[in-house]
Amino acid sequence: MANINLLPWRDELRARRKQEYLTILAAVTAMALLLSYLWVSSVQGDIDSQNVRNKMLKDEIAILEDKVAEIKDLKKRRAELLERMRVIQELQGMRPVIVRAFDEFVRMVPDGIYITELSREGDILSMGGVTESNNRVSSFMRNLEASDWFKDPNLSSVNARPDLGEQAGEFSMTVRAAVPNTEEEEEGGQK
C-alpha cells in the first residue's frame, strides 16, 4: 500500500470547521446581542410610555382633586346660603305671627289688669302687673289657657297692694308662647 499523508487535509478541514464554528458563534452572539438590545429598548420604551401615562394621570387626578375641593367648598357655601335663606324666611314668616300674638295677648287681658313688665326668653313670656282683684288674674289665666297662642300659664306670686286699692295686688306669672297650626285653623274655618 501506498503511504498517503492525510494530516494536512484533516488539519485544513478542522481549521475550516473551526472558522465556520467561530463565524456561526459570532453571528449567534451578535444576533443575541441585537435581540437583547431590541428587547431592552422595547421594555424601556414601555416603561417610559407608562411613566408618561402615570404622570398624565397624576396631573389629571390633581386637577380633579382641585375640582372636588372646589365642589365641596361650593356645597358648603350653598348649605350656608340655604341656612341663611331658611332663617330669613322664618323671620319673614314670623313677622305677622308676632303681631298676631300681641294682638291676641291684648284681647286676653281682662279689664282691671295692668301689665307693667313683659319679657321673653325663648318661648317663655314672663310678666308682672297690677290687678284690681284676684278674680281678674284667674280670668286672665283662663283666657290664656283657652288661647291657641299661649299655653301653660303659671302664676308665680300675688301680693296684696292696699295702697293701690281695696282688693288690689301685684302679680307675676309666666306663660309659654305657641304658634297655632295653620292647617288646624283652616280646617276649623271650613267646618
pLDDT digits (tens, 9 = 90+) for 3-49: 776 677 788 889 999 999 999 999 999 999 999 999 999 999 999 99
| H-only helix segments in the chain | 7-108, 134-146, 182-190
Can you give the residue ranges of every domain in the chain? 110-190
In this structure, which topology does domain 110-190 adopt according to CATH? Alpha-Beta Plaits (3.30.70)
pLDDT over 70 at 2, yes or no = no
Output the CA torsion sign for 92, 93, 97, 99.
Answer: positive
Identify which has the larger pLDDT, 147 or 78: 78
The amino acid occupying position 140 is F
Burial letters for 29-39: b for 16+ Cβ neighbours within 10 Å, e otherwise? Answer: eeeeeeeeeee
CB atoms under 10 Å from CB of 180, counted, come to 15
Q: Are 130 and 109 in contact (CB under 8 A)?
A: no
Report the alpha-carbon distance of residue 56 to residue 50 in Å, rounded: 10
pLDDT over 60 at 72, yes or no = yes
DSSP state of 166: S
Share of the chain above pLDDT 90, in %: 38
Report the alpha-carbon distance of residue 186 to residue 191 in Å, rounded: 9
Global pTM reads 0.48
The amino acid occupying position 146 is A
pLDDT digits (tens, 9 = 90+) for 94-133: 677 777 777 887 888 888 888 889 888 877 888 899 988 8
pLDDT over 80 at 183, yes or no = no
The confidence score (pLDDT) of residue 48 equals 96
